[in-house]
Amino acid sequence: MGKINQPSSQIKLTNVSLVRMKKGKKRFEIACYQNKVNDYRTGIEKDLDEVLQIPQVFTNVSKGAIASNEDLMKSFGTLDIDSIVLEILKKGEIQLSEKERNLQNESLHNEILTIISTKCVNPKTKKRYPPTMIDKALKELKFNMSNAKVAKIKALEGIKLLVEKQIIPIARAQMKLRILKKRNFKLDDIKDMISSIEHSDENEIVCLIEPEFYKSLVTKVQEIGGSTIEVLDMAVIDSNNNNDGTQLF
């Protein structure tokens, strides 16, 4: 990218992805093509001309306000626009357009519902609920997904609420484990954490547990020493029919 002369005139740009950085009390922005910033950061795209809509530094892209040399020098200690643009591109915060934000929220929403669906079952039938039914139940409980940032964390919050309120009969699906035993292993040491035993002999135990007991069980087995735990299934679900068709709404 060649040297850039920072003009004083205003430039109007539309349909862009913004990358914003605060330096001191000043805000600086650069205008990029949609979806190209992450490509550049991950190394997929290396040509800056394919990333930047215009190689300028703005204080406000939507108003076309270009940063003054005085502000750039005070905040970045240089008037080298190339290096300033690169710093903002690498370290700045991506500002999504409304369309991009809506698509991202929709994708996150669906991911949360899918996680809950795969981790929970109707405790009587051992079948999972489809995401659409999970969605209806959470809406009835006024569960807010608009503030979600990490799908897994928000899904666990949703599961906790669903299990607590029981607007539909729901429980966390049990985990299936194999414990490879050593001679000093005693079943009595862990029986309070096991829901049921599917198989047991002198060498191993195959059992079901509630997910909340997993960490405690691992700790206990480690304390005993010698024995090992293998996760056979993170969520045991009746595979004959994955969807519970009960109409509850």
Q: Of 197, 137, 140, nearest to 168 (Cα)?
A: 137
- Whether 238 is covered by a domain: the verdict is no
Mean pLDDT across 198-220? 89
Q: 241 pLDDT band (50/70/90 cuts)?
A: very low
- Whether 65 is covered by a domain: the verdict is yes
- Whether 115 is covered by a domain: the verdict is yes
Helix or strand holding residue 83 (H, E): helix 81-91
Which pLDDT value is given to residue 227? Answer: 84
User: Of 95, 112, 143, which residue sits at a domain end?
Assistant: 95
Which pLDDT value is given to residue 14? Answer: 53
* CATH value at residue 82: 3.30.1250.10
Alpha-carbon span 26 to 119, nearest angstrom: 46
Backbone angles phi, psi at 227, to 5 degrees: -85, 155
- Whether 47 is covered by a domain: the verdict is yes
Q: 249 pLDDT band (50/70/90 cuts)?
A: very low
* pTM over cut 0.75: no
Between 95 and 164, the more confident residue is 164
What residue ranges in the chain does DSSP mark as E strands? Answer: 17-23, 26-32, 52-60, 65-66, 93-95, 120-121, 171-172, 175-180, 196-200, 204-209, 228-233
Which pLDDT value is given to residue 72? Answer: 93
- Whether 121 is covered by a domain: the verdict is yes
* CATH value at residue 111: 1.10.10.900
Which one-letter DSSP state was computed for residue 189?
G
Structural domain range at position 151: 98-172
- Whether 225 is covered by a domain: the verdict is yes
Q: Is the pLDDT of residue 175 over 60?
A: yes
Same domain, 114 and 85: no
Between 96 and 204, the more confident residue is 204
Q: Is the pLDDT of residue 186 over 70?
A: yes
102: helix, strand or coil: helix
Please answer whether residues 112 and 158 qualify as being in contact, where contact means their C-beta atoms are separated by less than 8 angstroms: yes
What does the mean pLDDT of the chain come to? 84
Mean pLDDT across 133-157? 90
* Residue environment code for 10-33, b if the CB has 16+ CB neighbours within 10 A, otherwise e: eeebeebbbbbbebeeeebbbbbb
